[in-house]
């Protein structure tokens, strides 16, 4: 489907906001699952919605998909209201539920044909069923009942269904959960291609390393709120820090002012230095070696998403 | 690669595949009605009165049973599982829409009923049923009204209960209505209070109006039409108000 799908998106306007979420709240009875959340997503980019289970990711995604009503706030998908304009939006949107969605006795080729058929009356550019099956690597399993597919194969079939509409915007909820290494690579490359061809991809996951490999933009959720929202590089840079671990705790009082002022003690023997000025690390290393203090770890560079996430949420992931 | 059909036909094809590939559903919609028809018309154990031929009593009753199995049990069980497996939720994000979804469901029931008729009517004729006095138009009206009533009941249960409990409830209800319903056992054979209840059920009412239409000599067709009509209005309305898609 690569060549055809890209035809409509030959020029990607990356400043366009294809998804706008503003002060969105979702309440279930007494529980506030999503608490005044705001973020945006753009075409040609993969926006990862990250957070631990129960952080409010799925509730937020399902409001955007038109499957759940919001309690308050403002959501626009491709400029439309996902609840009110559900029908017109459905033709241009692909979704992947966190689980299920297919009848257990149904065969992949039949379900893919069904979904391509469901989109065939709209703008008249539904994907080709055989090509979709091929794309997600299920050609050998096209006639195997859904219930006999492995976890990874089920996820790949669900992904194929999300692509049946040749969608302008795609919402994927935990697409790699239960998927083996090969399946992950395949799913990642499909996601990347989708974005490169101009689709807006929203990827909700709690697997930070997966997200890091494929996303351009990051929205980190915790306890129903957005903690961080920005490009992957910005988010990682903002948390850029030098980490220092020493064999025994440092006597900070004995340290010269120009060094101790930069050091933040996370725990005895564990320190971080943020935005270190040039020369500081060298001076610190000299000071430590003069006193015969063994350095176990001295690491600088961009933080991984995992580090950022642990920083923000206090270690839960 | 042939052209992909539109939303309605794609959905209908998916619905039909689920129903026709499912052995248990075929047992319920076809095999049990045929067996009941053959068994009770050839083995004289059923108290069908002195004047009637057993097959004349049984044919309308078994056709009513067939309508109940396709419109209520088969539809209800499949829909319950589709709710449980989030098939309905997933379809909610496609351009299909509820009217076309419902139309595909109804068409599937009609197709199954056609197959039931094509199998059951010749079997009944071979077993000696005299169709000479049958008023077919009235019978079709009865089947349509019965389908709406039973479809409403089946979807009402499917729209509220968990898939596995729904499965048990639909099958249990099928058995209870089969025994109570005036389908294979005449109302006269039931104890008075039970017979009073049975006459208010859609199963008894449908069997009675079909008996009136197909062989004549029904119990009280006027009242049965009222009962069936009431079920056909109340059950779908209640379903529309209470159905949970997820």
Rounded Cα–Cα distance for residues B104 and B117 (Å): 20
Q: What is the rounded end-to-end Cα distance, in angstroms, of chain A?
A: 36
- What would the two tokens of residue A255 be? 């340290």
* Element of type H or E holding B57: helix B54-68
Quick one: residue B97, left, alpha or beta (phi over 0 = left, psi -120 to 50 = alpha)? left
Grade residue A308 by pLDDT with cuts at 50, 70 and 90.
Answer: confident
B10 at A interface, C-beta within 8 A: yes
Q: Give me the residue from B6, B21, B87 closest to A121, CB to CB.
A: B6
H/E run at residue A313: helix A305-313
Average pLDDT, stretch A139-154?
95
Closest-CA distance of chain B to residue A146, Å: 11
Q: Does B21 touch chain A (CB under 8 A)?
A: yes
User: How many domains is chain B built from?
Assistant: 1
Q: What is the mean pLDDT of chain A?
A: 88
Q: How is residue A94 written in tokens? A: 């692909």
Mean pLDDT to the nearest integer, A222-243: 83
Instruction: Give mean pLDDT, residues A147-169.
Output: 95
Distance from CA of B95 to the nearest CA of A (A): 5
Q: Which domain holds residue B122?
A: 7-242
CA dihedral B169→B175→B177→B183, nearest 10 degrees, is 150
Rounded to a whole number, what is the distance in Å from the CA of A155 to chain B's nearest CA?
14
Torsion of CA B122, B126, B130, B134, to 10 degrees: 0
Q: What is the CA radius of gyration of chain B?
A: 18
Interface ipTM: 0.89
The model's pTM is: 0.84
User: In chain A, what are the domains?
Assistant: 2-236 (3.40.50.300), 241-301 (no CATH)
B102 inside 8 A of chain A by CB: no
pLDDT exceeds 70 at position A233: yes
pLDDT in tens, B16-65: 999 988 888 889 999 999 999 999 888 876 666 554 678 888 999 999 99
What residues in B contact A115, CB-CB < 8 Å?
A: 10, 94
pLDDT on residue B49: 59
A125 burial level (CB within 10 Å; 0-12, 13-18, 19+): middle
Q: Does residue B11 sit at the A interface (CB-CB below 8 Å)?
A: yes
Q: What are the tens digits of pLDDT across the range B123-152?
A: 999 999 988 889 999 999 999 999 999 999
Mutate to test the interface with A, among B18, B87, B95, B164 (most CBs of A within 10 A): B95
Q: Do B87 and A105 touch (CB under 8 A)?
A: no
**Subunit contact B5:A95, Cβ cutoff 8 A:** no
Which residue of chain A has the CA closest to B85?
Answer: A100
Tokens of A191: 């996601």
Comparing alpha-carbon positions, the chain A residue that sits nearest to B9 is A117
B66 in any annotated domain: yes
Q: Is residue B88 part of a domain?
A: yes
Taking residues B166-188, what's their average pLDDT?
90
Of B10, B86, B89, the CB nearest to A114: B10
Is B82 inside any structural domain? yes
- Which of A33, A42, A44 lies closest to A11 in space, CA to CA? A44
In this predicted structure, what is the pLDDT of residue A244? 86
- B158 assigned to some structural domain: yes
Strand partners, A298: A244
Indicate whether B2 belongs to any domain: no
Q: What percent of chain B has pLDDT over 90?
A: 72
Does the beta carbon of A131 lie under 8 angstroms from any beta carbon of chain B? no
pLDDT for residue A298: 80
Within 8 A of A104 by CB-CB distance, chain B residues are 81, 85
Helix axes B192-199, B221-242, angle to 10 degrees: 60
Tell me, letter by letter, the H, E, C secondary structure of A72-128.
EEEEEECCECCCCCHHHHHCCEEEECCCCCCCCCCCHHHHHHHHHHHCCCCCCCCCC
Position A4 scores a pLDDT of 45
Please enumerate in sequence order all residues whose Cβ is within 8 A of that of A138, keeping only pairs 6 or more positions apart, or say none. A108, A153, A156, A157, A160
pLDDT score of B86 more than 90: yes
Please tell me if residue A118 touches chain B, with a CB cutoff of 8 Å. Answer: yes
- What integer pLDDT is reported at residue A291 of this predicted model? 87
Stretch A88-109: mean pLDDT: 93
d(CA B207, CA B202): 8
How far is B32 from A167, CA to CA, in rounded Å?
46
State the smallest CA–CA distance between residue A100 and chain B in angstroms: 5
Strands, E assignment, A128-215: 169-173, 200-205
Residue A123's pLDDT band, with cuts at 50, 70 and 90, is: low
B230 has pLDDT over 90: yes
Q: Which of A62, A103, A173 to mutate to test the interface with B (most CBs of B within 10 A)?
A: A103
Subunit contact B1:A105, Cβ cutoff 8 A = no
Q: Is the pLDDT of residue A116 over 90?
A: yes
Residue in A closest to B91 by C-alpha: A101
Q: Is A315 exposed, middle or buried (0-12, 13-18, 19+ CB in 10 A)?
A: exposed
Contact A264, A254 (CB under 8 A): no
By CA distance, what is B11's nearest residue in A? Answer: A114
Closest CA relative to residue B76, chosen from B204, B145, B167: B167
- What is the number of CB-based contacts under 8 A between chain A and chain B? 95
Answer yes or no: do A90 and B93 touch at CB < 8 A.
yes
């Amino acid at each position: 489907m690569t060549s055809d799908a890209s035809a409509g998106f030959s020029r990607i306007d990356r400043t366009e906001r294809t998804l706008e979420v503003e002060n969105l709240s979702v309440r279930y009875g007494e529980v506030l699952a999503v608490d005044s959340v705001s973020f945006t997503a753009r075409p040609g980019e993969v926006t990862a919605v990250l957070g631990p289970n129960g952080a409010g990711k799925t509730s937020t995604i399902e409001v955007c998909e038109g499957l759940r009503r919001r309690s308050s706030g403002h959501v626009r998908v491709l400029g439309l209201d996902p609840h009110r304009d559900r029908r017109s939006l459905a033709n241009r949107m692909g979704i992947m539920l966190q689980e299920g969605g297919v009848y257990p006795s149904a065969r992949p080729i039949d379900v893919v044909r069904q979904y391509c058929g469901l989109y065939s009356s709209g703008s008249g550019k539904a994907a080709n069923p055989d090509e979709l099956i091929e794309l997600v690597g299920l050609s050998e399993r096209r006639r195997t009942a859904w219930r006999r597919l492995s976890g990874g194969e089920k996820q790949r079939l669900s992904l194929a269904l999300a692509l049946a509409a040749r969608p302008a915007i795609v919402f994927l909820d935990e697409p790699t959960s239960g998927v083996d290494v090969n399946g992950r690579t395949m799913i990642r490359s499909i996601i990347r291609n989708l974005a490169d061809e101009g689709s807006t991809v929203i990827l909700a996951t709690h697997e930070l390393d997966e997200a890091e490999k494929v996303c351009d933009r990051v929205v980190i959720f915790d306890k129903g709120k957005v903690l961080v929202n920005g490009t992957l590089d910005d988010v990682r840079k903002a948390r850029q820090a030098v980490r220092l671990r020493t064999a025994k705790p440092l006597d900070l009082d004995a340290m010269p002012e120009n060094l101790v002022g930069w050091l933040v003690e996370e725990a005895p023997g564990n320190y971080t230095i943020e935005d270190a000025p040039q020369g500081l690390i060298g001076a610190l290393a000299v000071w430590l070696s003069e006193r015969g203090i063994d350095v176990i770890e001295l690491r600088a560079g961009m933080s991984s998403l995992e580090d950022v996430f642990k920083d923000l949420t206090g270690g839960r992931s | 690669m042939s052209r992909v059909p539109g939303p309605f036909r794609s959905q209908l094809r998916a619905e039909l595949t689920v129903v026709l590939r499912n052995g248990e559903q075929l047992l319920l919609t076809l095999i049990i009605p045929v067996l009941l028809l053959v068994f009770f018309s050839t083995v004289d154990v059923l108290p069908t009165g002195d004047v009637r031929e057993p097959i004349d009593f049984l044919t309308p009753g078994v056709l009513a049973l067939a309508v109940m199995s396709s419109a209520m049990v088969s539809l209800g069980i499949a829909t319950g599982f589709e709710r449980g497996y989030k098939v309905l939720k997933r379809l909610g994000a496609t351009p299909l829409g509820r009217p076309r979804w419902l139309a595909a469901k109804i068409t599937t029931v009609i197709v199954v009923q056609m197959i039931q008729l094509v199998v059951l009517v010749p079997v009944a004729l071979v077993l000696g049923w005299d169709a000479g006095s049958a008023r077919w138009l009235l019978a079709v009206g009865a089947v349509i009204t019965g389908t709406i009533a039973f479809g409403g009941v089946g979807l009402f249960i499917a729209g509220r209960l968990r898939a596995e409990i729904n499965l048990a409830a639909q099958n249990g209800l099928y058995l209870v209505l089969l025994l109570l319903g005036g389908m294979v056992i005449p109302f006269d054979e039931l104890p008075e209070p039970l017979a009073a209840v049975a006459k208010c059920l859609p199963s008894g009412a449908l069997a009675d109006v079909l008996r009136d239409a197909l062989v004549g000599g029904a119990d009280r067709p006027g009242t049965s039409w009222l009962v069936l009509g009431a079920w056909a209005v109340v059950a779908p309305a209640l379903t529309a108000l209470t159905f949970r898609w997820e």
